[in-house]
Amino acid sequence: KSELNWPIGDKGPLDFTQSWIALGIRWDVQWHLLDAVFYVKEKRITVPFADSRLALNILEKISAVMNAGFKDKRLQSTPHTILLDRDWYHKELKPLLAHWVLLFLRSKKLPPLQDRYLLSYLTNGPVADPVAASAVKVALDDEYMKLVNLSHDLLRTFMPHLLGKIDRVSFGLLSPNDLKLGLESDPNMPRSRRISAIPFVGKDVPSRASQFSHPDVIIGLTILGYRYEGLRKTDFSILMTELRETWETEFGLPHKRPSALKFASWIKLAGGKVRGPVKNFDTDYESKKTDE
């Protein structure tokens, strides 16, 4: 039940899902790129670069260019950010996004390589600048080369494609009611269709069976779908259950475990705060350890 895609054989992990560089890096790089787009209106980021002056400087430049794009009708601001002029994107926005994704690449301990070569490769590809392409290929091993190539493809092809889509019109997530009706008509609905973005055939009218075929399109539109529409109740329940189960397997003070810190960061991003004094939390935990 995939659009223009007829998979054969056993299912296997998506390429570059697991890498010694990082787990889930194929998702992380898209989240990082799209976070810069959301910064323009939200004035906050969810990626770990909030304390970087260089990152904030790049984000402010991206904001200035995008705000000018809204004014000049290169971008549309309602119902959300929509790209109207791809030539403008490649000339004005893509070079700044290349600087932004370079921060992500550097955070993954990229081998020593001059920024000018990487930026040229990210924006122009391997053909337009043979000198930069040669320098990149010599400096990077296969895994890093794959990451840089993925970043180039995202900047050149997928970002303008994703930003040109309209949520709940050309793509979106199944609403709780759509999900209920879909499961009634097809109890064996694929899990990917339940949790990922799917094509829409009209305003609030999801396609009955089709799915996007390219994995990077699915990843990008799914990220946009959740950030535009938010989590459904079922998504929230699954997420909190998995976070609690992970927290129980971790060691250390309860509020300092990675899962607890992640939960606290989510609450902070939502504008709230975690209740309970830390001192009492520590005392209770130490008392429990002594009793045991």
Cα(64)–Cα(160) distance, integer angstroms: 18
pLDDT at residue 70 in the model: 96
pLDDT at residue 161 in the model: 96
- Mean pLDDT (whole number) for 212-233: 93
Query: Residue 52: what are its φ and ψ, rounded to 5°?
Result: -95, 120
pLDDT at residue 282 in the model: 46
Of all helices (H) and strands (E), which one includes residue 144? helix 142-153
| Most confident by average pLDDT, 81-85, 179-183, 285-289 | 81-85
Structure tokens at 27: 């998702």
The mean pLDDT value of the chain amounts to: 88
pLDDT of residue 4 exceeding 70, the answer is no
Any idea how long the chain is? 292
Cα(267)–Cα(273) distance, integer angstroms: 6
Can you tell me whether residue 172 is helix, strand or coil? strand
pLDDT of residue 100 exceeding 80, the answer is yes
Cα(154)–Cα(33) distance, integer angstroms: 9
Please tell me the least confidently modeled range out of 33-42, 75-84, 131-140, 274-283. 274-283
Give the single-character DSSP code of 204: T
pLDDT digits (tens, 9 = 90+) for 15-37: 888 888 888 899 999 999 999 99
pLDDT of residue 223 exceeding 80, the answer is yes
Give the single-character DSSP code of 91: I
The two counts, helices (H) then strands (E), for the chain are 14, 5
Of all helices (H) and strands (E), which one includes residue 76? strand 75-76
Identify which has the larger pLDDT, 189 or 292: 189
Single-letter code of the amino acid located at 281: F
For residue 209, give Cα distances in angstroms to 65, 171, 194.
39, 13, 11
- Mean pLDDT (whole number) for 76-99: 95
pLDDT at residue 164 in the model: 95
pLDDT at residue 254 in the model: 86
pLDDT at residue 1 in the model: 43
Strands ordered across the beta sheet of 205-206: 171-172, 198-202, 205-206
Confidence of residue 284 (pLDDT cuts 50, 70, 90): very low
Confidence of residue 291 (pLDDT cuts 50, 70, 90): low
In angstroms, what is the C-alpha Rg of the chain?
21
Q: Is the peptide bond before 176 cis (omega within 30 degrees of 0)?
A: no
Cα(34)–Cα(97) distance, integer angstroms: 9
Structure tokens at 135: 């320098």
pLDDT at residue 5 in the model: 56
- Mean pLDDT (whole number) for 56-69: 96
| Most confident by average pLDDT, 93-102, 185-194, 204-213 | 93-102
- Above pLDDT 70, what percent of the chain? 92
| Most confident by average pLDDT, 72-86, 116-130, 191-205 | 72-86
Residue 182 · residue 189 · CB < 8 Å: yes
- Mean pLDDT (whole number) for 169-187: 90
